[in-house]
Amino acid sequence: MKYHEIKDLLRQCHGFATLCEEDLDLMAKCGVNAVFREGQLLAQEGHPADLFYLIRNGKVAIETHVPHRGTVTLQSLGTGEVVGWSWLFPPYLWMFDVRALEDTRVISLDGKCLREKCEANHSLGFRLMKTFMGTLVARVHDARLQVLDVYHSPQGG
Amino acid sequence: MSNGHVLTPVATEVLSVRHELRDTATLSLLPPPGGAPFAPGQFSMLYVMGLGEIPISLSGDPAESGLWIHTIRGVGNVSQALVRAIPGDRIGVRGPFGSAWPLDRARGRDVLVVAGGIGLAPLRPLIYRLAAEPEAYGRITVLYGARTPEDILYFHQLQAWKESARFHVRVTVDSGADDWSGNLGPVTHLISPVDFDPASVVVFTCGPEIMMRFVIRLLLGLGVAGERIFLSMERNMKCAVGFCGHCQYGPHFVCKEGPVFGYDQVAHLLAEKER
Ligand SMILES: Cc1cc2nc3c(=O)[nH]c(=O)nc-3n(C[C@H](O)[C@H](O)[C@H](O)COP(=O)(O)OP(=O)(O)OC[C@H]3O[C@@H](n4cnc5c(N)ncnc54)[C@H](O)[C@@H]3O)c2cc1C
Ligand code: FES
C-alpha cells in the first residue's frame, strides 16, 4: 500500500481529526498494511508496545486473563478505531491482549519510531499526546459507564 | 381518546404473550373500545386487579392499530404480574397518553436512534415508522446497548432491521461471555460521526437516565444541537392526565408534557439529583 493511501486512511480517522498534514505525513511514513485472521493476537499483555493500529476493517477484542475465570473481554474496537496507546507512555508495555474477533485489516504504525520523534520534537509530542489523550479519555468514560452497570437496577430504563 | 377512559381503566383481554427475556414479556391487548390510535412514544396505564396501575409504553407498530402491544420488564409487584400474564387474562387499560416522538422533525435528515435496555420498547414504534418509509430520511442509524447478550431485546427484529440495506443497526453489550463475538462496551462507544451529519441529524434516545446523560453529552461534544435531541423521561405516575402532580419533573408534568421531551426543555433538570 502506498504511503499517500495510508495518509488518506489516517486523515479519515475521527481520532486523528485534529492532526495537521505534516503530522499525518510523518505518521503515514511509519505505517504499513497488515491483516490478522480471526483469533490471531495483535498484541500480548506484558510485551513491548512498539506498535499501534488503526483498524481499516474488522473487529478486535481487548482481553485479559483472570485466574479461575479465564479470558475476559473488556471492550471491542471496530473499523476506524485506534488500538493501543501504551507505545506513548512508560513502561511501553501492552497492558492487555488484543485479539482479532474476525478477519481484520489494519494499518500497523511504528510507535517506537514515533515516540523517538516526539522526544526530539516536543511540539509534535504535545500534539500526539493530546490526540491520544482524547482516545484515552473516551475509553475511561466507556469503562466507567460499563462499571455503573446501568441496565441492571430495577430503574434500568 | 374518549373522556370515559381518562381515569377509569377499561377491562380488556390479553390476546397473546411473548416471552422476550427472562424478566420481560410482550403482551398484545385489544385496545379499549373507542380508544384513539396511538403515536410512537405514547404510553398506556395498565391495571392489574387488586395490585395497581403502571405506565407502560406502546411498543407495537402504530400502523397496526388493531392491537395494543406493550413490552414489560418485571421489576416490582405490578410489572411482574403483567410479565406472568397468560392469554385470556383480563387487565385494565387506559390511554394512549403523553407526547410522541416528533418524527416530522427528522424528515429529510439523518436519524440517530440510541436505546438502552428496556428503553428500546418506547422507540420500537418509531423504528417501525422509519422502516416503513426510509426514503423520507437521510441515513438511519439505530444503536442499542444491553447488559449481556441474554438481555438483548427484540433480537430477531434487530437482526431483520440490520439486514435491511437502508438501516444501520449496531448492538453492544456491557459484558459478554467467551462465545460473544459482537460489540462489547457501552452504547456511547457505538456513536460515530461517520454515521450522521452532526449539523443536521435528529436524535431520539431512551434508556436509563444516566445512559441518556452520557449519550447527550457526547453528542453535544460532536456538535449536535440540543434542539435536535429528543428523549423519553420516566417518572412514577398516578392519574396520567395532569391532575395529581405525581409525575412532576421540575416545572413539567411528565404524563402530559412528556414522556418525550426536547433536550433543551429538560437540560437543566437532567443534571439534578432525583429527590
Ligand atoms: C411513560 C413511561 C413509560 C414506561 N414504559 C415502560 C415500558 O414500556 N416497559 C417497562 O417495562 N417499563 C416501563 N416504564 C416503567 C414502569 O412504569 C415501571 O417499571 C413500573 O411502574 C414499576 O411498577 P411496579 O409496581 O412493578 O414496581 P414498583 O414496586 O413500583 O417498583 C419496583 C422498582 O422499580 C422502580 N421504579 C418504579 N417505577 C419506575 C419508573 N417509572 N422508572 C424507573 N424505575 C421505577 C422503583 O424505584 C423500585 O425500585 C415506563 C414508565 C413511564 C413513566
Ligand atoms: S401522573 Fe398525575 S399529574 Fe402526571
Q: Domain of A126: which CATH number?
A: 2.60.120.10
pTM: 0.92
Per-residue pLDDT at B2 exceeds 60: no
- SS3 of chain B: helix, strand, coil, percent, to 5: 30, 30, 40
Interface confidence (ipTM) of the complex: 0.86
In a domain, A28, yes or no: yes
Kindly identify the ligand whose nearest atom is closest to the C-alpha of B97. Answer: 1
In a domain, A155, yes or no: no
Kindly identify the ligand whose nearest atom is closest to the C-alpha of B53. Answer: 1
Per CATH, the architecture of B10-97 is what? Beta Barrel (2.40)
In a domain, A156, yes or no: no
Residue B90 CB partners (closer than 8 Å, separation 6+): B11, B12, B13, B14, B49
Which residues of chain A have a CB within 8 Å of the CB of B209?
Answer: 155, 157
Residues 97-156 of A with CB under 8 A from B: 101-102, 138, 141-142, 145-146, 148-156
Per-residue pLDDT at B275 exceeds 70: no
In a domain, A95, yes or no: yes
- Nearest-CA distance A1 → chain B (Å): 24
Distance of CA B4 to the CA centre of its chain: 26
Topology agreement, domain B10-97 and domain B103-270:
no
Instruction: Give the domain range for residue A54.
Output: 3-150
In a domain, A104, yes or no: yes
pLDDT at B37: 85
**All cell numbers assigned to A35:** 491483516
Residues 12-71 of A with CB under 8 A from B: 14, 59, 61, 70-71
Q: How far apart are CA A31 and CA A108, in angstroms?
A: 5
Which residues of chain A have a CB within 8 Å of the CB of B116?
Answer: 150-151, 157
Lowest mean pLDDT across A108-112, A118-122, B116-120, B165-169: B165-169
Q: How many independent structural domains does chain A possess?
A: 1
Nearest CB among A75, A145, A152 relative to B214 is that of A145
Residue A106 β-bridge partners: A34, A55
Per-residue pLDDT band for A153 (boundaries 50, 70, 90) equals: low
- Domain boundaries, given as residue ranges, for chain B: 10-97, 103-270
Residue B170 β-bridge partners: B143
pLDDT at B180: 85
For the domain covering B103-270, report its CATH number: 3.40.50.80
In a domain, A93, yes or no: yes
Measured from the Cα of B240, ligand 2's closest atom is 1
